[in-house]
Structure 1
Amino acid sequence: MRQNIKLYQWNFIKEAKDAEQAAAATGVPVTVPHTWNAIDGQDGGNDYYRGTCWYVHKLERPELTPGGRAYLEFNGAAMTAEVYFNGAKLARHEGGYSTFRVDITDYLLEENTVAVSVDNADNDRVYPQKADFTFYGGLYRPVNLVTVPECHFALDYWGGKGIKVTPIVEGTGAQVTVEVWVKGNPDSVAITLDGKQQTVPVQEGHGQAVFHIENVHLWDGVEDPFLYTAIAELPDDRISTRFGCRSFAMDPEKGFLLNGRSYPLRGVSRHQDRIGVGNALTPDMHREDMGIIREIGANTVRLAHYQHDQYFYDLCDEAGMVVWAEIPYITMHMPNGRENTLSQMQELIVQCYNHPSIVCWGLSNEITAAGGVTEDLLENHRLLNDLCHSLDKTRPTVLANVFMLEIESPLLEIPDVNSYNLYFGWYLGELDENDAFFDEYHTRYPDRCIGFSEYGADANPRFQTARPERGDYTEAYQALYHEHIIKMINERPYLWATHVWNMFDFAADGRDEGGEHGRNQKGLVTMDRKLKKDAFYLYKAHWGKEPFVHLCGSRYVDRAEAVTEVTVYSNQSTVVLYVDGKQFAEQQGKAVFRFQVPLSGEHTIEARAGEHLSRIFVRRVSQPNTEYMFFKTGDIVNWFDKEDFKPGYFSIKDTLGELGAQPQAAALMGQLMAQTSASRGDVAESVKDNPNLQKMMMKTTLESMLKQVRDMITPEQVKALNAALQQIKKPE
């Protein structure tokens, strides 16, 4: 019978010229899963080690039945791996997020040496190469030794399990086609489903059975994620897979439909890393992530920007999460990377086909961010789109488009459905520009499905304020941003899916902003999963079913204002506020409740909703606490007196377009732009290379742009710039 043995203990060698040298090296003992970038990939500087490292394991010869085979199974080797067995190179795999197997049977000795080179170095062939997250290197998912008898279910087809289940719901029943692929020339295979068994012939290594389930129990999202199990058996081998029966559709007006009814997809995106661990997550960590996603009340997860651990897809199946699955074809199109996009997509679909949670295949993400739309890029997407449809007749394809891509671009005509990543109100522009964008898209293309695949604002919980504004990295601005966005989403039911960017803070070693090095802080939860930001509870108030109440601003203790605004999030209709044990006010409402509370000293404030309670402590101070400020010299608007802005002359309050049209003003602005062009993440970096984004930026005031880079400039520099602009008279 089949055996699956985990290979935990390996020797890690950072530098070796070849497999022979690696096998002889002393190295460092490590436990796989392992990444060598757990620390340097998260501390900023964009200097984490990207190169080739080696893993070596000593393996005793496994017991095999006559004709049996032995495979090494790698569930994640980032990004390119070469496998050497007893000195012989047996395999090369390009792509760091999928499973691949290597048949070692014919090379087995009594004592064996496995040497694996793993390479995450920069190249022009293997995705990802440019994106706003860390490309961890290592054997960061389990490695297994799999032994099977002579007649066994196939293990060497794109990392799949050898079983494929296609359910089609028909009225109150379902037709379920089960296909299997086998090795060793068996005559037949037994397939069992829902208590019924069929023995079907095997022809050219393939067997197929069709079952009809009457009164089918549907996989019905978070309310009832029922799973069936299909079992396939040979005389000495057995495999099984879970699946779900459901129907779904995306409608240009009604949004997402599950099992014939409206089912708005409202949820989050997720990256697979943690502080001090990198992407070498344990099952407990995966379960904790799913628990937090369930707590917030989400019903969909965008698993970005690559194939995730099979265990997490299993958790999504069990929880009823609707999943967007995608490959890491991201940010920058590489002409030499076409074959890699196709192979990574083939692996994603073959390995993940049976998961009922998955409803679409993502072709790419923000692929025009670092360049324009070319014919080669379009052809790459056409080939990917055709590949998806050839492998899977049941799921649509989707694109996540960067916000500066024109809605009339031919790229949007390729996938079945589209989504946009918009960051108006954070990287540039105003919050209501998100509303206007979707209104324009829906008006111009009423027959196209459109979704909201990314949106968010960075927040460092250390930073607090009574006057939140774009670019301040405060917890309060993040909450205010999401208050606007969720209202906008609720008013537009045609959005087939919306995904907050992101559920958790994640590593982006090239970042240095918002008081943290090497981190994207758009998460609703911190990277260590220990702190839920206030915006987390806003979504819980809109989506969550379990009654609760949350008082915002618990980390904003020292308050200089005489009257402070207290915000409460709750999914209950009535909230009562108490100040120092006495009832202060009662409100009826939905999700968001605000109270104006006078401050005179130290106060304990409580919010109650039925039997649920939340409490914070605040105190009145004479001056704002500078520890709460991202830029401790104060906001840009406070650097000037009213007389610093003479009417009829240019100033930082003018738009970039207005300033750019005047040669002297444009030169002054250009000097500042050159100084502040680094460390802003890939979306911000792409401004200089993208005409469409430049066009959008022309509507933004210089003052607004400066607030985004306030960590890179001094008050003196801004005052000097404004003074110089004030010497330039505007045209009559």
Structure 2
Amino acid sequence: MTRPPVDRPRRMTLIHDDWAFAPVALPSDSTWEDVAAAGSYVTLPHTWNAIDGQAGGEYRRGRSTYARRVVAEAADVRTWVEFEGVNSSAEVYLNGRLVAAHDGGYSTFRADLTGHLENGAGTLVVIVDNAANERVYPQQADFTFYGGIYRDVRLITLGAPHFALDDHGGLGLTVTPIVDGVRADVALAADVDGEASAVRFVIDGEASVTVPLLDGVATSELTIERVRRWHGLRDPHLYTARAELLVGEAVVDAVELRFGCREFAVDPDRGFLLNGEQYPLRGVSRHQDHEGVGNAVTEEMKQTDLALLRELGATTVRLAHYQHDQRFYDLCDEAGLVVWAEIPQITVFLPGAVDNARDQLTELIVQNRHHASIISWGLSNEITLAGAGEDVLAAHRELNDLAHRLDPGRLTAMAHLFLLETDNPLVALADVMSYNLYFGWYVGEAADNDTWLDDFHTSYPEVAIGLSEYGADANPQYQSAAPVKGDYTESYQALYHEHMVTMIEQRPWLWATHVWNLADFGSAGRDEGGVAGRNQKGLVTFDRGLKKDAFYVYKAAWSDEPFVHVAGRRRAERVEDVTEVIVYSNQKHVTLLVDGVEVGSLTGERAFRFQVPLSGEHEITARSGDLADTITLRKVDHVAAASVMPTTTIANWFDDAALPTPAGYFSIRDTLGEIKQSEDGARIISSVLEAVAVSRGEVGRGAQIPPAMQSIVDRMSVEKLILQAGGVPVERIAALNAELNLIAK
């Protein structure tokens, strides 16, 4: 059908230029010149923490002021301003009058400027605040809370009757498809502001229905016969729903949303099901920030992240730990990626922010429930670090009920801290649950992930479980021929993920698994692994310029795009006479050539290991059919010091100290489980765990080890526990050993 013209079409104009910015809170009636004089000119998107938020240590958290002149298109139109993301609280003034206030840095909000313009013009002043407080999430987390107007801002002009713009950032149109066999019934609802006669709903320019308005609301249903289902990567088909607002026969406003028709379910034995088929959700999590720009990312950067997800062959992405922008959800719809979306209720429960968590969840759902890619609403992440009391449980029950009221067709989800006991009532509250497990990095060994998950599946066979986070930090500068946990080498990260991808593949009942993380990201409080201000668990670097070897571990497991990749290229200088060359590939047969001469062929899956003698500089090539990848290796007497992480003070002290280990008595070289058999030993172990918790700062304070993890921790020596934790004073270590030397075995 031919689309009728809109009598007075809404105009949405990006207003990114000509902003004045001052890194202080100025009066709300400041002029554009006042703000410019106190600061500078900026172009949006913008954050004032692009540099200090990624440098490590303190970064500026407080109030700043933005200003811009705005002009209405005509005297008889309605004028709104739309912000897609301002972190974390905003007050919006027009000519000195407050027109909007918003708490929450990751969702869309709008302000109605109509009636506040003077002679059709005015000065827009936005006071933005990312200071610490107890009422807005997030406040404590392992990522930087960049301040600023960091997403798109638009001026919206439209006629007096229009689709509502004041419903939690929504478009005034709700689309809910229900698939039934070969057809789909699509429920449509529109909210209208102003006097109009009817709404015409249209799907893909073909099926249409016109219904009268009743108290500003129009509802109807359209049926799609022979529906084409949205089916992930295989066929991410989208339909377009259009709502046209009618005054008589004239169309005075129109809005459109794209949606997909699909069914999904989670089964504790079969995992995730899409349209009735087993569809393993295997992917990564994504933080939105990029190096040098923080959260003020460009369209090109979003496309880069999408391209990386596609290259990996991921079927899912967890968009953590907050609402991402509409554009990225759109890209996931188009690409067929299944999405876990969530709010930033994270780490520590804030009694004063209960209302804010509810508001952020409402905005997340209202603004995004049309996205075919989204299958779950995340209620929180590791929220029980400081405990899981009745107030935490009650707040989550309310959020769970709210999500089901707003969107009955999707699942609720939670990502649990690995310290949370599996029998805690919070675990069973949401529709599906996942755990953040870091065995093999923060505690225990990689194989402990297998044991923990198998024990859970055996104990709770009726519960679907997933892995919401797992990973290991890697600085590509650091390399090792014998990688070990905690060395921050690219080599260990790849070895760890080799284990994890196999472990996951052997457990199809895991409903979803998400590597932490797609890319390194800003975390101002970190200073480890040779880089300050950064979490380095990414499969690619912060600037997306380098794919770590672990990236290819997953590409070999998930992607259908043929490739071979020779790992260890950044360990070009090697001291060993015979070195191991690892090739990652999704091909079944790989041949290795050294200086053009074939030295071996292997048949296998994902990882191919060759032993290669070194005697000088060699060109190493891996081949599979027409595919090839080449690196250069050199035999040297000593590796460069820069390629090895400097040993910590504690590790050096352990190497140098001649700690007494008297026969028949305990020492820090004994395991926690052995020492705890003695009453005096149990008391000392309690003090050890307290010292370790204090060494982790606020993140570790109050953390308790649940019974489900205790057996893993008990197998560790006191020395190993302290080395992994770091930060325990050496004099405290010597005193602990002396105390243990007094206790007979």
In the superposition, the TM-score normalised over structure 1's length comes to 0.94
Alpha-carbon distance between aligned partners in 1 of 2:441 and 2:267, rounded to the nearest angstrom = 29
Q: Which residue pairs with 2:540 in the alignment?
A: 525
Q: Which residue pairs with 1:94 in the alignment?
A: 103
Summarize the Cα distance change of 1:674–1:707 in structure 2 as closer, same or farther, 3 Å threshold. Answer: closer
State whether structure 2 residue 341 is matched by structure 1 residue 325: yes
Q: Which residue pairs with 1:345 in the alignment?
A: 361
Deviations 1:638-663 (A, max 9, x none): 93799986654444432345557686
- How far 1:434 sits from its partner (Å)? 0.8
- How far 1:609 sits from its partner (Å)? 1.3
Is the CA contact 2:681–2:740 (under 8 Å) kept in the aligned structure 1?
A: no
Alpha-carbon distance between aligned partners in 1 of 2:127 and 2:717, rounded to the nearest angstrom = 50
Alpha-carbon distance between aligned partners in 2 of 1:283 and 1:331, rounded to the nearest angstrom = 30
From 602, 614, 637, the counterpart of 1:599 = 614
Alpha-carbon distance between aligned partners in 2 of 1:177 and 1:578, rounded to the nearest angstrom = 61
Summarize the Cα distance change of 1:589–1:642 in structure 2 as closer, same or farther, 3 Å threshold. Answer: farther
Tell me the SS of whatever aligns to 1:105: coil
From 432, 437, 440, the counterpart of 2:447 = 432
Deviations 1:148-192 (A, max 9, x none): 101211111100011111111111111111211111121111111
Correspondences of 1:624-635 after superposition (within 5 Å): 624-632=639-647
Q: Which residue pairs with 1:731 in the alignment?
A: 744
Tell me the SS of whatever aligns to 1:536: helix
Alpha-carbon distance between aligned partners in 2 of 1:332 and 1:231, rounded to the nearest angstrom = 42
Is the CA contact 2:179–2:261 (under 8 Å) kept in the aligned structure 1?
A: yes
State whether structure 2 residue 25 is matched by structure 1 residue 34: no
Alpha-carbon distance between aligned partners in 2 of 1:457 and 1:681, rounded to the nearest angstrom = 20
Summarize the Cα distance change of 1:713–1:397 in structure 2 as closer, same or farther, 3 Å threshold. Answer: closer
Alpha-carbon distance between aligned partners in 2 of 1:600 and 1:723, rounded to the nearest angstrom = 48
Q: Which residue pairs with 1:212 in the alignment?
A: 223
Correspondences of 1:495-506 after superposition (within 5 Å): 495-506=510-521
Return the letter of the residue paired with 1:182.
V
From 84, 106, 117, the counterpart of 2:93 = 84
Correspondences of 1:87-126 after superposition (within 5 Å): 87-110=96-119, 111-126=121-136
Alpha-carbon distance between aligned partners in 2 of 1:460 and 1:434, rounded to the nearest angstrom = 23
Return the letter of the residue paired with 1:139.
I
- How far 1:209 sits from its partner (Å)? 2.3
Unaligned runs of 5+ in 1: none
Return the letter of the residue paired with 2:706.
N
From 685, 700, 706, the counterpart of 1:686 = 700
Summarize the Cα distance change of 1:659–1:637 in structure 2 as closer, same or farther, 3 Å threshold. Answer: farther
Correspondences of 1:370-385 after superposition (within 5 Å): 371-385=386-400
Alpha-carbon distance between aligned partners in 2 of 1:727 and 1:446, rounded to the nearest angstrom = 42
Q: Which residue pairs with 2:5 in the alignment?
A: none
- How far 1:689 sits from its partner (Å)? 3.5
Return the letter of the residue paired with 2:264.
F
Unaligned runs of 5+ in 2: 1-8, 246-250
Alpha-carbon distance between aligned partners in 1 of 2:664 and 2:125, rounded to the nearest angstrom = 72
Q: Which residue pairs with 1:132 in the alignment?
A: 142
State whether structure 2 residue 190 is matched by structure 1 residue 170: no
From 724, 741, 745, the counterpart of 1:708 = 724
Q: Which residue pairs with 1:48 in the alignment?
A: 59
Q: Which residue pairs with 2:300 in the alignment?
A: 284
Deviations 1:617-641 (A, max 9, x none): 1122223432221125897799379
Is the CA contact 1:646–1:726 (under 8 Å) kept in the aligned structure 2?
A: no
Deviations 1:34-65 (A, max 9, x none): 000000000001x101101110111123324x
- How far 1:278 sits from its partner (Å)? 0.3
Tell me the SS of whatever aligns to 2:426: helix
Summarize the Cα distance change of 1:406–1:548 in structure 2 as closer, same or farther, 3 Å threshold. Answer: same
Return the letter of the residue paired with 2:468.
S
Is the CA contact 2:577–2:635 (under 8 Å) kept in the aligned structure 1?
A: yes
Summarize the Cα distance change of 1:172–1:668 in structure 2 as closer, same or farther, 3 Å threshold. Answer: closer
Q: Which residue pairs with 2:11 in the alignment?
A: 3
Summarize the Cα distance change of 1:323–1:80 in structure 2 as closer, same or farther, 3 Å threshold. Answer: same
From 659, 664, 669, the counterpart of 1:653 = 669
Q: Which residue pairs with 1:254 in the alignment?
A: 270
Is the CA contact 2:30–2:125 (under 8 Å) kept in the aligned structure 1?
A: no
Deviations 1:239-276 (A, max 9, x none): 11100011000001100000110000000000010111
Correspondences of 1:532-543 after superposition (within 5 Å): 532-543=547-558
Alpha-carbon distance between aligned partners in 1 of 2:104 and 2:325, rounded to the nearest angstrom = 14
Alpha-carbon distance between aligned partners in 1 of 2:640 and 2:661, rounded to the nearest angstrom = 29
User: Which deviates more, 355-364 or 84-93?
Assistant: 84-93
User: Which deviates more, 314-323 or 657-666?
Assistant: 657-666
Alpha-carbon distance between aligned partners in 2 of 1:729 and 1:598, rounded to the nearest angstrom = 51
Is the CA contact 2:693–2:700 (under 8 Å) kept in the aligned structure 1?
A: no
State whether structure 2 residue 321 is matched by structure 1 residue 305: yes
Tell me the SS of whatever aligns to 2:550: helix
Deviations 1:436-458 (A, max 9, x none): 11111111111111111000000
Tell me the SS of whatever aligns to 1:44: coil
Return the letter of the residue paired with 2:88.
M
- How far 1:579 sits from its partner (Å)? 1.2
- Give the % identical residues: 51
Q: What is the number of residues matched between the two proteins?
A: 722
In the superposition, the TM-score normalised over structure 2's length comes to 0.92
Return the letter of the residue paired with 1:7.
I
Alpha-carbon distance between aligned partners in 2 of 1:28 and 1:692, rounded to the nearest angstrom = 52
From 459, 472, 484, the counterpart of 1:457 = 472
Tell me the SS of whatever aligns to 1:405: coil
User: Which deviates more, 432-441 or 630-639?
Assistant: 630-639
Q: Which residue pairs with 2:3 in the alignment?
A: none
